Amino acid sequence: MSKQFDVIVIGGGPGGYIAAIRAAQLGKNVACVDEWKNAKGGPAPGGTCTNVGCIPSKALLQSSEHFEQASHHFADHGITVKGLSMDAAKMVARKDAVVKQNNDGILYLFKKNKVSFFHGRASFARAVEGGYEIKVAGAAEETLVGQQIIVATGSNARALPGAAFDESMVLSNEGALALTAVPKKLGLIGSGVIGLEMGSVWRRLGAEVTILEGLPEFLGAVDQQIAKEAHKAFVKQGLKIELGVKVGEVKVGKKGVSVAWTSAKGEVQTLDVDKLIVSIGRVPNTTGLNAEAVGLKLDERGAIVVDADCQTNLPGVWAVGDVVRGPMLAHKAEEEGVAVAERIAGQHGHVNFNTIPWVIYTSPEIAWVGRTEQQLKADGVAYKAGTFPFLANGRARALGDTTGMVKMLADAATDEILGVHIVGPMASELIAECVMAMEFRASSEDIARICHAHPSLSESTKEAALAVDKRTLNF
Ligand code: NAI
């Protein structure tokens, strides 16, 4: 006998588990199927984000930042550390414990919200009267029937042609987060989000890091004034970033990896490293979903085709997160999951794609929302720009971290905020105020008139807003 559900969610990452919880909150009988296994073979819901992405990378970024501070910056505060040492295996074990807390947290939330969890791989079997039959293979062998299906199967790292991931010498995000010793020389292909975050972790711990980036511009999607400031900081820290390169043959040996590459000037070079991380983007994951059994439409990249409401070509089948169009961000997946659950329940869930924040958790952090200056120029929008450097912020001086700035872009005629771009301390937290302001369609004057606590980094946001009107008070 098959088990019947109102909603079956395939995938327990941030898109899937949040959709399952929201649908259950709205009174639906919900199942969530996820196959991720922990080291003991038990369930590890939370997807890439929890297991090999957002959460573990932040754990290692924090540990490595502590080490960097103790090694180089405590002395400025009059603190001397003798006999400082670092145990990479222990750092990784701590990271694993943080991941487990999050896995267990999701299992607890499923129980609390009465979501039925199945540990295994789900695939479409066939369409049936009023729904779809889903097979679960793995620890739980089941046949489920759901009236509504939400596919949230995420994405996988894209491999470099001719250099398959072995997670020992050629690493994806998974291997990059599991190294238990610091490589002497580390190479990375791609200076995107993962390249910069992982490059930062292992540089702080002592690796000599070289990043080979195909595009001539550093962080092309980021506001270029902010990207230039970040580039300067990273190079000063010791990250070697080569732009506009063409990566050639990758030779994997027992002791290292050799990458042939051509520089922007056309010089043929070789990069010899102990480990190579390939971080050149991710591809949607529909492997084993058996989409063809029900005629679920995929595009040429393998992403599930959806409309603006995450509805697929099949009635009652929805898809959210990395497996569909749009940025591959955990919080975008969560918002889509909530909106779909609400639509299924007859509500009017909505995701505002114009106010999705981006964060790169390097040091300095980079965070932004809305359009960049180069996008506004390309769109022919008349705008005013205001910037404020952390160098002139009292809290940043006290913290000893004055790198970077807040930059605000507002419509020249209406003063509506069109984008905010931050590079500097706690940019990941500062951006929240700007997202809210844009969601409420605030003007730069609105932010300029709001009382911000002193001393705080957030005063830089207020000052950037004042700068739009050319009337900063502290610069
Ligand atoms: P990415 O799209 O951020 O960066 C990939 C980089 O590789 C680009 O700069 C691209 O120009 C370069 N590239 C592509 N092919 C190349 C080649 N053959 N040779 C040299 N360079 C090449 O992708 P990344 O860093 O792999 O991250 C994957 C996804 O994970 C992204 O969508 C990102 O948003 C997400 N993510 C988000 C995080 C966050 O929100 N903090 C953290 C980590 C990942």
> Is 163 part of a structural domain of the chain?
no
Euclidean distance between CA atoms 95 and 64, whole angstroms: 11
Whether residues 193 and 322 fall in one domain: no
- In angstroms, what is the span from residue 7 Cα to ligand 1's centroid? 33
CB 446 within 8 A of CB 466: no
**Radius of gyration from C-alpha coordinates of the chain:** 24
Q: Which amino acid is residue 342, in one-letter code?
A: E
DSSP calls for 149-204: EEE---EEEPPBTTB---SSSEE-HHHHTT--S--SEEEEE--SHHHHHHHHHHHH
User: Positive or negative CA dihedral for 161, 166, 170, 175?
Assistant: positive
What secondary structure letter does DSSP report for 115? P
Task: Give the active site residues.
Answer: 454
> What three-state secondary structure class fits 224?
helix
User: Is the shortest distance between the CB of 244 and ligand 1 below 6 Å?
Assistant: no
What's this model's pTM, rounded to 2 decimal places?
0.97
Q: Could you tell me the residue range of the domain that residue 428 belongs to?
A: 355-468
Q: What is the model's pLDDT at position 439?
A: 98
- In angstroms, what is the span from residue 189 Cα to ligand 1's centroid? 9
pLDDT tens-digit series, residues 209-234:
999 999 999 999 999 999 999 999 99
- Say which residue the tokens 């050799």 belong to: 258
Could you tell me if residue 392 is left (phi over 0), alpha (psi between -120 and 50 degrees) or otherwise beta?
A: alpha
Q: Which atom of ligand 1 is nearest to the CA of 219?
A: 9
How many structural domains comprise the chain? 3
User: Is the shortest distance between the CB of 191 and ligand 1 below 6 Å?
Assistant: yes
DSSP bridge pairs for 258: 251, 272
Confidence class of residue 74 from pLDDT cuts 50, 70 and 90?
very high
pLDDT tens-digit series, residues 293-315:
999 999 999 999 999 999 999 99
Whether residues 20 and 69 fall in one domain: yes
In the chain, % of residues over pLDDT 90 = 99
- The string over 177-200, giving b where at least 16 C-beta atoms fall within 10 Å of a residue's C-beta and e elsewhere, is bebeebbebbbbbbbbbbbbbbbb
Q: Which of 50, 219, 282, 363 to mutate to test the pocket of ligand 1 (most atoms within 8 A of CB)?
A: 282
> Is 43 part of a structural domain of the chain?
yes
Q: What is the model's pLDDT at position 140?
A: 72
pLDDT tens-digit series, residues 385-405:
999 999 999 999 999 999 999
Q: Look at residue 426 and tell me whether its pLDDT is greater than 90.
A: yes
Q: What is the model's pLDDT at position 1?
A: 76
Mean pLDDT of 356-377: 98
How confident is the prediction for the chain on average, in pLDDT?
97
Q: What is the model's pLDDT at position 141?
A: 87
Whether residues 11 and 82 fall in one domain: yes
Confidence class of residue 81 from pLDDT cuts 50, 70 and 90?
very high
Q: Which of 351, 367, 390 is the last residue of a domain?
A: 351
User: Positive or negative CA dihedral for 329, 334, 340, 342?
Assistant: negative
User: Is the shortest distance between the CB of 280 and ligand 1 below 6 Å?
Assistant: yes
Whether residues 315 and 368 fall in one domain: no
Confidence class of residue 157 from pLDDT cuts 50, 70 and 90?
very high
> Is 292 part of a structural domain of the chain?
yes
**Helical segments of 327-452, H only:** 330-344, 373-378, 394-399, 427-439, 444-449
Q: Which atom of ligand 1 is nearest to the CA of 330?
A: 40
Euclidean distance between CA atoms 406 and 430, whole angstroms: 9
Whether residues 383 and 310 fall in one domain: no
- In angstroms, what is the span from residue 258 Cα to ligand 1's centroid? 21
User: Is the shortest distance between the CB of 214 and ligand 1 below 6 Å?
Assistant: yes
> Is 475 part of a structural domain of the chain?
no
Mean pLDDT of 16-37: 98
- In angstroms, what is the span from residue 38 Cα to ligand 1's centroid? 26
- In angstroms, what is the span from residue 279 Cα to ligand 1's centroid? 5
Protein residue whose Cα sits closest to atom 28 of ligand 1: 281
> What three-state secondary structure class fits 330?
helix
